[in-house]
Amino acid sequence: MLKLNDDYLNQIEQENLCLTESKKTEGKKVVGVYCAFTPKEIIAAAGGIPVSLCGGSDKPIPAAEQHLPRNLCPLIKSSYGFALTDTCPYFDSADLLIADCTCDGKKKMYERLQRIKPVYLLQLPQTAEGESSLSYWFNELNKLKTMLESKLGQEITDHGLREKINLYNQCRSLIREIFELNTGRQPLLTGKEINIAIDTGRFEVDLLGYIKRLKHIIKFAKERGGFDAGPRILLTGCPTTCKKLLNIIEEKAIVVAMENCGALKTVLELVDESERDPLYALAKKYLRIACPCMSPNLARYELLANIIREYRIDGVVDLTWQACHTYNVESTSLGDFIREELGTPFIQIETDYSNSDADWIKVRIEAFLEMV
């Protein structure tokens, strides 16, 4: 029987690490990615292997704080700490890093990171609204394409882009289908299981194998059947790079849906494969990611309203990493919208990667769940 646990994920990660090392001996390059705005299709079309690099552990943070402020987002400090201490096999394998300028903390951290490995910055527009923003972003992706062709030594053709777009669209569709297993009255997967199920194993070196695993998980979940697990929670906010809050919630409830980066926010919309210019299609899709780094960010409100309705949500938990001002500022107006206009209970949890506040979070979550 399939068990979606840490052992399952560790096995996938080890298999992908070995396959990546084999590909590197053949001359393939690994390209590190820090954010959902980076179109991995372009990297793959250039013959590169995308690898996700955001840090989710507090272990390297003390080293990072030698160079970075203590009152900085733990995701940024963890990411930099892994690079500084050379304790991350994914970072160690990367030949080149692509970094999206989504917040001031990340932008300044990338300046330090350039001293360790080559970093290419993707300059995002300030808003996703209007043709001028789309034109600007399309130009940025054109520059990224040119850079990757030069660094990886392979021309990116329209045909190659379309092939990778199709593969990644298959992945998005299957991830969406995995989440949709929880739209019924009885969910088929816990939030922790979904989190493991949709993980690529960091190295996206074998998309066909990933697609096969996603299909197997869907079949497994349907055969296992649904279960009752208490209040149905939507987890939104910052990326769930650290699983502390997710684990605490699921002691008393079930996270049936996640809107965070890498979850529903990034997979509900596919890249338009009918678009004549595949790079332009990528620009349109990726610019519409409903991230608070964009202002205004009205698309996120509409997205959350749809999820709350379709997934029969009883309560919304908004995760905010300490010092993440981008998500923290938006949380107030978002909470007002969810409580007042949608009539759904809402709570914001601001925390870091340590377990020092775990008991306090448990008390707050238990009180919130009693209310819903």
Stretch 189-205: mean pLDDT, rounded?
Answer: 96
pLDDT at 69 over 90: yes
Task: Find the angle CA(321)-CA(282)-CA(119) to the nearest 5 degrees.
Answer: 55
pLDDT digits (tens, 9 = 90+) for 147-157: 999 999 999 99
Domain of residue 123 covers: 29-154
pLDDT at 54 over 90: no
pLDDT digits (tens, 9 = 90+) for 251-290: 999 999 999 988 999 999 999 999 999 999 999 999 999 9
Residue 78 lies in a domain: yes
Residue 262 lies in a domain: no
Stretch 112-126: mean pLDDT, rounded?
Answer: 97
Report which secondary-structure segment, H or E, holds 371: helix 358-371
Q: Measure the N-to-C terminal CA separation of the chain; round to a whole number of Å.
A: 34
How would residue 228 be classed by pLDDT, with cut points 50, 70 and 90?
confident
What's the pLDDT score for residue 262?
85
Q: Where do the H-state alpha helices sit in 225-297?
A: 244-249, 264-267, 278-287
Residue 3 lies in a domain: no
What's the pLDDT score for residue 1?
82
- Which residue is associated with the tokens 């605490």? 248
Q: Is 214 exposed, middle or buried (0-12, 13-18, 19+ CB in 10 A)?
A: buried
Residue 275 lies in a domain: no
How would residue 183 be classed by pLDDT, with cut points 50, 70 and 90?
very high
Please give the structure tokens belonging to residue 309. 């309705």
Residue 138 lies in a domain: yes
Strands, E assignment, the chain: 30-33, 49-52, 96-100, 119-122, 232-237, 254-258, 315-321, 346-351
- Which residue is associated with the tokens 């698309």? 299
Residue 147 lies in a domain: yes
What's the pLDDT score for residue 263?
94
Distance CA 249, CA 358 (A): 11
Residue 221 lies in a domain: no
Residue 143 lies in a domain: yes
pLDDT at 229 over 90: no
Say which amino acid occupies 288.
Answer: R
Judged by DSSP in three states, 372 sits in coil
Please give the structure tokens belonging to residue 103. 């917040």
Q: Give the CATH number of the domain where residue 60 resides.
A: 3.40.50.11890
What proportion of the chain, given as a percentage, has pLDDT over 70?
100
Distance CA 121, CA 118 (A): 10
Task: Please tell me what DSSP assigns to residue 82.
Answer: H
Stretch 122-131: mean pLDDT, rounded?
Answer: 95
Nearest to 238 by CA among 90, 371, 40, 105: 105
- Which positions ≥6 away from 296 have C-beta within 8 Å? 127, 129
pLDDT digits (tens, 9 = 90+) for 26-45: 999 999 999 999 999 999 99
Judged by DSSP in three states, 98 sits in strand
Indicate the average pLDDT of the chain.
97
Please give the structure tokens belonging to residue 332. 């107030």
Stretch 115-119: mean pLDDT, rounded?
Answer: 97
Domains held by the chain: number: 1
